[in-house]
Amino acid sequence: MDPTILLIVFLIISFFVSKSTIRFFIYEADLLFFQQNVKKMINLKRTAVLYSFGFYNFLIILILGFATPFLFSIDLTFIDIMKIILVLNIFSMIHVSLNYLYKSWYVRLPILLVIHTFLILNFFSIHFGIYLILFIISAVILFRKIFSNRYWVTEVLWEYEGFYKWMKIIFQFSMEMSYYLPAKIRPPIFIFAKRRKLSDHRIDNLIYKSLLRKSSFFSLPLRLILLCIGLFIILPNWAKVVVLIITILGLFTSFDSILKEIKRASFFQLITPSEDEWISSKLRVQKRIIYPLIIALLLLFFIL
């Protein structure tokens, strides 16, 4: 297998598996107590860092352990696997450090893109010792920020996000419980979609605006497509056909569930489109979104 393809896949995966925050298990009410006892605060943060990165590395080693036969089959050595672990830890530390410094993703993203691309595309040419030095430097920079106690507000925010993340996932399993989640009204992802009419059909236009307003709608189809592309690279041809069929069915199913969720929105309760009108809109939107994705997957099937 071409090493360049493997490195590109690793580059894409590295953005998804890198750790971006640390849970310190502290809240605003703890500030007064811990400010009076700096030693306990440092001990607490040290424990939180060890727990966060320890659990993170446990998951990485577990996944790499399951993937060991595949990794050895593509001529990766034990040192290369250790380099993968080091690289992911370096990326995670850089992610966390940048999250301390910059709140805006569009500031962090170019920096991360350059670092990820350089370290991964030169994966085989950079010596293990260099990665080890970079790991130590990244750790020192991160620990200096953590133990400076200047980012209390940021760390508390991370804790809230980490805590409510699991609660949100649990609540989303039940329609009744999902109503207790705070409502988030966001502008469309693309600026031009705020004023531009995306379709001549009224229902279609509302569906497109709803899709652009909530980025979580894209998460499941995107994961399906990325998983499909990854499996295309490593599986034989007969298995690719099975993966392609399952992915196409998954896209239709996920898109159908997304449309059902959109239909339950409050503005559709006010408009109340007829069943025929909704089905027609659904087919038109499906033709504009799902069919191009299927064509792209078919092209990738023949290319990879």
Q: What is the pLDDT of residue 178?
A: 56
pTM of the entire structure? 0.58
Mean pLDDT of 65-73: 85
**Cα–Cα distance measured from residue 21 to residue 92, given in angstroms and rounded to the nearest whole number:** 8
Taking 70 as the threshold, does the pLDDT of residue 7 lie above it? yes
Taking 50 as the threshold, does the pLDDT of residue 134 lie above it? yes
Q: Helices 78-101 and 38-66 meet at what angle, rounded to 10?
A: 140
% of the chain at pLDDT higher than 90: 15
Q: What is the pLDDT of residue 197?
A: 60
Whether residue 120 contacts residue 14, with contact meaning beta carbons closer than 8 Å, is answered with yes
Closest CA to 23 of 168, 221, 196, 157: 157
**Cα–Cα distance measured from residue 36 to residue 54, given in angstroms and rounded to the nearest whole number:** 29
Between 155 and 34, the higher pLDDT residue = 155
Domains of the chain by residue range:
3-169, 185-303
Q: What is the pLDDT of residue 92?
A: 93
Query: Encoding tokens for residue 108?
Result: 């962090």
Q: Which amino acid is at 17?
A: V
Taking 70 as the threshold, does the pLDDT of residue 267 lie above it? no
CA dihedral (188, 194, 196, 198) positive or negative = positive
DSSP letter assigned to residue 95 = H
**Cα–Cα distance measured from residue 55 to residue 18, given in angstroms and rounded to the nearest whole number:** 13
- Mind listing the pLDDT tens digit for each residue in 162-216? 777 766 666 665 555 555 555 554 554 444 455 556 667 778 777 877 777 776 7
Long-range CB contacts (within 8 A, 24+) of 45-49: 45/146, 45/147, 48/22, 48/23, 48/24, 49/22, 49/143, 49/146
Closest CA to 8 of 90, 117, 84: 117
Q: What is the pLDDT of residue 190?
A: 47
Closest CA to 3 of 113, 124, 126: 124
Whether residue 284 contacts residue 204, with contact meaning beta carbons closer than 8 Å, is answered with yes
Q: What is the pLDDT of residue 181?
A: 53
Q: Dihedral through CA 189, CA 190, CA 191, CA 195, nearest 10? A: -100
Q: What angle do CA 86, 146, 115 make, to 5 degrees?
A: 40
Q: Helices 3-17 and 78-101 meet at what angle, rounded to 10?
A: 40
Residue that is written with structure tokens 């700096």 in the block:
38
- Half-sphere CA count of 61, side-chain side, radius 13 A: 8
Mean pLDDT of 37-62: 88
